[in-house]
Amino acid sequence: MPAAFKTVALVGRYKSRDVAAPLRVLGRYLVERGCTVLIDQDTAAESGVGDFPVVDFAAIAAQAHLAVVLGGDGSMLAAARTLAPAGIPLVGVNQGRLGFMTDIALGAMTEAVGRIVAGEYATESRTMLAAGVVRGGQTVLALNALNDVVASKGASGRLIELTVRIDAQFLYDLRADGLIVATPTGSTAYALSAGGPIIQPGVPALALVPICPHTLSNRPIAVAESAALEITVKRGADARLHLDGQPQFDLAEGDRVEIRRAPHAVRLVHPPGYSYYAMLREKLRWSESLF
């Protein structure tokens, strides 16, 4: 049977030598099944695996029909930010810890990926965010995020003050350690730790989750994913902007962070039998005995 995905790119966990052996096993397995296999150049350099054509992300975006990420959620997030605009679907093999986005256990890797390339799979679209920083009327930063955009305090450790607007309507002034704007995918990440709701991926909503607000009545709120969000730094000389947990920009008082749904979504590929709710039970240990 011809492969459903003829060219498959392999992306490994950043700075991990442990990924070398499974990369070789999976790559050879895919070649035996008639796939052309590419390997990300950073993955090849870090792992020492050069058994397959080594290419950069631009080439993966241009040539691949599927990207298999061996790592944790951080590896999936990095791949999604780069490959989502090109429409390259992603599937994850878990080599991290929780792995909310990496469906496939390492021990089941070849069987699960084999079924996917044979055409047995389900696809899902996940909302991404487009974030920009406006300073003095000029956009000085524009990036995408899959999990969340966070405006937070900096090294001084002092509260910052933010003005939040939704569709140009004033929501509140917030004094807090920061504010998380999370997609449904990101609702099980930092936002969950800060007391935000879990949002099922099919729900077209974003969560605004204050981080340690000074006024305890400032609670998380879910808004339509079509909303245009504005966060202005009112006070907080060393505030910072993080996207998907990565520090991206030092904010200044008066900066405006604009956040909208990105024009493209991430396409995730799931193996047969995948269930979002089963994943939640497993990762959050909801079915474990308390005694």
Write the pLDDT tens digit of every residue in 188-238: 999 999 999 999 999 999 999 999 999 888 999 999 999 999 999 999 878
Q: Cβ(159)–Cβ(175) under 8 Å?
A: yes
Segment 129-137 mean pLDDT: 96
268-283 core/surface letters (b: 16 or more CB in 10 A; e: else) = bbbbeebeeeebeeee
| Helices marked H in the chain | 20-32, 41-47, 57-63, 73-83, 109-117, 190-193, 276-284
Among 123-127, 155-159, 182-186, whose mean pLDDT is lowest?
Answer: 155-159
Bigger pLDDT: 62 vs 72: 62
- Mean pLDDT (the chain, rounded): 93
Per-residue pLDDT, 18:
80
Residue 92: other Cβ atoms inside 10 A: 27
- Tokens 């002034």 appear where? 173
Condensed to tens digits (0 to 9), the pLDDT of residues 41-57 reads 999 998 888 889 999 99
Domain 7-126+265-284, what architecture?
3-Layer(aba) Sandwich (3.40)
pLDDT of residue 101: 86
pLDDT surpassing 60 at residue 1: no
Query: In the 8-state DSSP scheme, what is residue 27?
Result: H
Q: What is the pLDDT, as a whole number, of residue 62? A: 96
Question: pLDDT band at 35, cuts 50/70/90?
Answer: very high
Share above pLDDT 70 across residues of the chain, in percent, rounded to a whole number: 97
Q: Is 73 a catalytic residue?
A: yes
Closest of 86, 14, 9, 78 to residue 43, by C-alpha:
14
How far is Cα 268 from Cα 162, in angstroms, rounded to an integer?
A: 34
| Given 40, 73, 148, 244, the catalytic residue | 73
| pLDDT one-digit tens code per residue, 98-118 | 778 888 988 899 999 999 999
Full DSSP string of 222-247: EEETT--EEEEEEE-TT-EEEETTEE
Whether the per-residue pLDDT at 68 is higher than 80: the answer is: yes
For residue 289, pLDDT beyond 80:
no
Q: Which helix (H) or strand (E) holds 174?
A: strand 169-176
| Interacting residues of 18 by C-beta distance below 8 A, sequence separation 6+ | 95
Mean pLDDT to the nearest integer, 258-283? 94
User: For the chain, which residues make up each domain, given as ranges?
Assistant: 7-126+265-284, 129-261
The mean pLDDT of 93-99, rounded to a whole number, is 79
Sheet of 169-176: strand order equals 138-145, 129-135, 256-261, 229-235, 160-166, 169-176
CATH fold, domain 129-261, is Tumour Suppressor Smad4 (2.60.200)
* pLDDT (mean) for 70-77: 91
The pLDDT of residue 50: 87
